[in-house]
Structure 1
Amino acid sequence: MLYEPKVLVANVRGLNDRARRTGVRSVVNTTGASIVCLQETKLSVVTHAIVIEALGADFDAYFCLSATDTKGGIIVAWTSRVVQLDGAHYGANSVTARVSPVGGGSGWWLTCVYGPQAEADKVAFLEELRDVRRGHPGPWALCGDFNLIYRDEDKNNGNLNHRMMGRFRRFLNDCELKEIYLHGGRYTWSNERETPTLVRLDRVFVTAA
């Protein structure tokens, strides 16, 4: 029987306490996902016990990118009875693997990212993603927290870095990536001030081939 994997993508803003891991697991249990991509884990060390506590016993395999001084961190975990991931490639801000459904079906590449905040690092990050694409031809899904925007409407004020937005747009166009629009609120991040800055940083993009 062929199973089509479901993918959950989430910025968890830290998995370094038990209450947060319990909350993430509650969300995972409602989705039926067989692949989970978590960003901003803030974990410098990831263990199988932490993955099980945060996601459940079905998630018996994972790749991870450790946080640096509790900044960043990525976990890509999956249920091996449904799907297999292999060929892991680690970048400074990304984890890439080939997804192959158990029972047959076409494989594709999955990259989970947590983008940097400094402008110079953002330029290097986009070049990192170009390198990922050059080394992994074929169908590709790119997801996570990019810490970048490419449209004016992705931010609720006029404080925009148009040069960086242009770089991001050129990357998307050059790699022929199309955004999958997600249900929920228009923005995914807030500075939580009285008059907040709201930004859409979390995204999923896919190629046609």
Structure 2
Amino acid sequence: MNLMSFNVRGVYGGAKASWIKEIRNSNKISVIALQETKVEVVPSSCVASFWGKGKFEYACSASVGLPGGLAWIWDPNVLKIESVVQNRCYLVIKGFVIGSGDPINLVNIYAPQNSAAKLQLWNEISSFIDPDVGKWVLAGDFNVVRSSDERKHSKFKPVCAENFNNFIFNNGLLEYPMQGRKFTCVRDNGKKLSKLERFLVCPEFFNKWPSACVRVLPNKYSDHCPIILILVDLNFGPRPFRVYNSWIGKPGFEETVKGALEGFEFFDPPDTCLTAKFARIRSALKIWRDEFLAKEKETESSAPKDMEG
């Protein structure tokens, strides 16, 4: 199940629809989140032009005036959706993954520009995120960045970033690193750059697909870039490093972990900092593991063998 999110800036336009359809087919996308549809109701014929061949189901929430409007489109052979929650700023579809039966909740977000309205939105979404009812994936245009380096040549609002980071932290959400491009919104002929789009997932989702990646595609027909969450293992680097219980207590294990964190400086956001800490520990433990196994092998080969009687 691969997912795509895109601020489409209006669903009408044949070239735009054909482009999204091509991306969906080439990347085996099963679920699409669209923001700024700019219509009250997205016609089925319009959805079909984005989706292409094959069955699909969809849900949408109306725009208020010209701005806004959200849509989810999904493959009914991959997801069974049982309920939909519509709102001006978010669209939630709830169901389960066919085959595994895993309950899943997908939230498509188009956040307002106003800082107070954004904070209200974060509080409202926080009120219904419940890990006991399945996995959670939040996608969309959050209209905010997490740190100053996620903006270029545009104003950074520390309070908005703090509110957003608190929302992520308080709900235990995690973010996959982005590949392809650092920024997702390109304006003023490339002068103003921002990372406004992202995928946020719950720990249970992250633990099931630790090798997943998010890719930012080139923008076309919009000043926003499509982003895709690839859940299949496409060999974008080594598998996550595992620590086995049998290692704990072995000579040098504890010292290696402590040594890896010496001089480590904490930074924001907290989840990115935690990922960096794990990376340092992982690198150190790889060296320790190889040395430890080499010593064990050397000890076994030099040990006297029992004489056969």
Which of 159, 163, 178 aligns to 1:163? It is: 159
SS at match of 2:178: coil
SS at match of 2:107: strand
Are 2:38 and 1:14 equivalent residues in the alignment? no
Q: Is the 8 A contact 2:17 2:49 kept in 1?
A: yes
Aligned to 1:33: 29
Structure having the larger proportion of residues in helix? 2
Q: CA deviation at 1:136?
A: 7.2
Which of 107, 112, 119 aligns to 2:103? It is: 107
What is the CA RMSD across the aligned residues, in angstroms?
A: 2.0
Q: How does 1:29-68 map to 2 (within 5 A)?
A: 29-68=25-64
Count of aligned residue pairs for this structure pair: 204
TM-score (norm 2): 0.61
Aligned to 2:202: 207
Give ranges in structure 2 of 5+ residues lacking alignment.
205-309
CA distance in 1, matches of 2:201, 2:131: 16
Q: CA deviation at 1:134?
A: 4.9
Which of 135, 139, 144 aligns to 1:139? It is: 135
Higher relative contact order (CA 8 A, sep 6+): 1
Are 2:84 and 1:78 equivalent residues in the alignment? no
Q: Is the 8 A contact 1:44 1:70 kept in 2?
A: no
Are 2:147 and 1:148 equivalent residues in the alignment? no
Whichever of the two has the greater Rg, that structure is 2
Q: CA deviation at 1:158?
A: 7.0
Tell me which amino acid in the other structure corresponds to 2:194.
V
CA distance in 2, matches of 1:199, 1:126: 20
Gap change, CA 1:189 and 1:136, over 3 Å in 2: farther
Q: Is the 8 A contact 1:59 1:77 kept in 2?
A: no
Give the share of equivalent positions with the same residue, in percent.
24
TM-score (norm 1): 0.89
Which of 176, 185, 188 aligns to 2:181? It is: 185
